[in-house]
Structure 1
């Protein structure tokens, strides 16, 4: 997840075009570390590979442990030393770790300007174009997703010519719903924002909590805003806005999204005291049947299946009011990147390939995690949560409806957006004041580029 982090910022070409070229191939400048690269992991001798990740949620945590053991079995000369922590903690600690005398060889890095761009600009990440050519990542991953993990060599231009990471998981942020409660209320699965609001109003009238929402960690504010804004502004509008290529955060659709969220809080549609409730507690409450809806990412699949069984919950993505196509925040999980100080680049690249390739996809799916590239043969039983997620994932990609995580916009946007969303939900800032803060942050950032 992004999590939450952790599939996201894409320019319209997010569809699964598996014949795409690598970032920077055929045009522009390609930066790569000096010297030849190799797949010969054994030639590295005894290696302790330090790995930092945020794969701590149910499903992906189990898959990661299994993949690490499989990698060590395949390469007995390698011992993996893993540090796993939450998305919020990783954001706080990773920069310091990369600049230390004992930096991780491999780390999951949040895309966009706040983390990946800042690390590239500081020279803390190794470009991966040479390993892309060695392992053929460009022929496996969609071009739009690889571009999301790319920057100019100086870190100033997102989606540049240099690849700095490869993602392991696919992600969508959408609306989970309780099938039994939806049927009890006589409602159909919502596919538009209007339908979602009408369902929440009916649930509230029936004494049912409409939307389980915990914003203690602040990052869930990105998700509720992302889903609501995408349904009003559409994929092209959000992508241009986040990338600084057009529009303003004060424009009517984004203001309307903020206004709706503030109204939901005021009307009691959200968990009471949501800013003091953790993301995990809100998810658990939904899993216990205490609310009709939950806005969260596909990375919660395994946790909800454990709590509710395989078919008690469903998952839906809202259609855009602009073109009627399914549109939402998402794309891919955090990128696996190589630290620039590593002395084990070949081993690190082999590890990245191992945990992101088609073989890893099977391992991920076996534990309820969603791989970045979903095999065509994957067809879960109809009526299950897994089937809903697979269907929505494919539909959103086919519609080019995946839009960026909003915090990608500037180096400081994560803090501005998440703090602002807490204030918005608490009624401590008006929707107009909220979007003006977002606009001011991006305007100041773009003025310095």
Structure 2
């Protein structure tokens, strides 16, 4: 594998993903490539995804299934799984007789890029030509849909179809903040002062999960708050060596170590899943939860006993986020053409508008049709990030194994196996072991 070329240097200078820039018009047919004739009656399409039924994406994909079945006459066999389960099993599953025909999958070099480079997911160039999906993807969104022969995102052939955006921000319990006379933090000093107030009143302020992705994303956000775009390019694209004793990762790990020692983060998070952390916030047990827009629809539907708000992380330009997870067609798909028809329906205005009104961030919606005030709140927050060219992808993307590596180090930081210095040294070893193979 060769070192990434200079042509990739600008990939992470992500263009605006604002919804208003991605409108595809309101008078398109529901699915431009579907015949609607029922020609596929008797056939079954196996669809796999890991979205909750009440999430924005889950609601939208259920609508897409209904439209697909009506227009094609085929039947959908829906298989739901967990993000972590598919993340660890996709290489074997997608190349086996048990492969779904079309599946949601994690984007980035270490996941979709890895599978593209070894032929486990199909090249989608002909379907992009047939359905015109590329015309619906804004600059920046399409970065995660293309991979070169080495699995490097941003150039090469089409291997996935992103149909929503996502980013990470702070959920907060308005009622708990009001109870203790606190305001939404706009600086790190204010955030830490708020957390100390909660601790003084016997409340652990920030729920997270070290077993799964939330704490790793929090670590990355803290690093990003001290970083610039070049650091992101170095970390994600290997343009220059990453200094694992530098200010970015030093601040991230030392801040987390400090917050754990002060009780801002419970040591219980070492064994908690993302679902556990999310439920602590939903149930009103924790006043703050740092996680992604993929939770937003569920928060709207499940939180009934208090008011919550959302805000971007204080004092930062850069934020974890990107185009959303992507639809891929596995190598062993039995119905790739039918799978492409289903993907096209998920890109239709009817489904995209529903996704937006349900609390998601669609990439091909008619913005004028999204009037829900909660959806507008999320879009406004997303546009704040885009206006600063802030989307900086995710911490686990640089290597195929870094998701598990980062989680294990976060757990060690919580339970005391690592301090900040040794945590960064271990992360650096994991990272450099892979980077040395692609330079």
- Scaled to the shorter chain, the TM-score interval is 0.7 to 0.9
Conserved 8 A contact 1:10-1:331: no
In structure 2, what is the Cα distance between the partners aligned to 1:374 and 1:339? 27
Match of 1:204 in 2: 199
Residue among 427, 434, 438 paired with 1:445 = 434
Question: Structure 1 residues 93, 55: CA separation in 2 closer, same or farther (over 3 Å shift)?
Answer: same
2:381 is the counterpart of 1:395: no
The Cα shift of 1:242 comes to 1.9
Alignment length (residue pairs)? 414
User: Following superposition of structure 1 onto structure 2, how do residues 377-388 of structure 1 map, counting pairs within 5 Å?
Assistant: 377=368, 378-381=370-373, 384=374, 386-388=375-377
2:88 is the counterpart of 1:92: yes
Question: Structure 1 residues 227, 56: CA separation in 2 closer, same or farther (over 3 Å shift)?
Answer: same
Match of 1:368 in 2: 359
2:144 is the counterpart of 1:148: yes
Question: Structure 1 residues 40, 373: CA separation in 2 closer, same or farther (over 3 Å shift)?
Answer: closer
Question: Structure 1 residues 162, 72: CA separation in 2 closer, same or farther (over 3 Å shift)?
Answer: same
What are the superposed Cα offsets for residues 139-162 of structure 1, whole Å, 9 maximum, x if unpaired? Answer: 21112111122111x234232211
2:437 is the counterpart of 1:436: no
Conserved 8 A contact 1:180-1:312: yes
Conserved 8 A contact 2:267-2:415: no
Residue among 199, 219, 222 paired with 2:216 = 222
TM-score, length-scaled by structure 2: 0.86
Match of 2:299 in 1: 304
Match of 1:14 in 2: 15
Match of 1:179 in 2: 174
TM-score, length-scaled by structure 1: 0.84
- For the aligned residue pairs, the C-alpha RMSD in angstroms reads 2.6
The Cα shift of 1:47 comes to 2.6
Question: Structure 1 residues 310, 164: CA separation in 2 closer, same or farther (over 3 Å shift)?
Answer: farther
Question: Structure 1 residues 272, 427: CA separation in 2 closer, same or farther (over 3 Å shift)?
Answer: closer
Conserved 8 A contact 2:284-2:306: no
The Cα shift of 1:343 comes to 4.3
Residue among 344, 347, 353 paired with 1:353 = 344
Match of 1:71 in 2: 68
In structure 2, what is the Cα distance between the partners aligned to 1:88 and 1:395? 30
In structure 2, what is the Cα distance between the partners aligned to 1:50 and 1:387? 34
Match of 2:308 in 1: 313
What are the superposed Cα offsets for residues 241-268 of structure 1, whole Å, 9 maximum, x if unpaired? Answer: 1222235151211111111112111111
In structure 2, what is the Cα distance between the partners aligned to 1:207 and 1:310? 20
Structure 2: any 5+ residue segments left out of the alignment?
1-9, 23-32
SS at match of 2:434: helix
2:421 is the counterpart of 1:421: no
The Cα shift of 1:408 comes to 0.7
The Cα shift of 1:203 comes to 1.9
2:225 is the counterpart of 1:231: yes
2:324 is the counterpart of 1:333: yes
Match of 1:285 in 2: 280
Conserved 8 A contact 1:148-1:158: yes
Conserved 8 A contact 1:262-1:425: yes
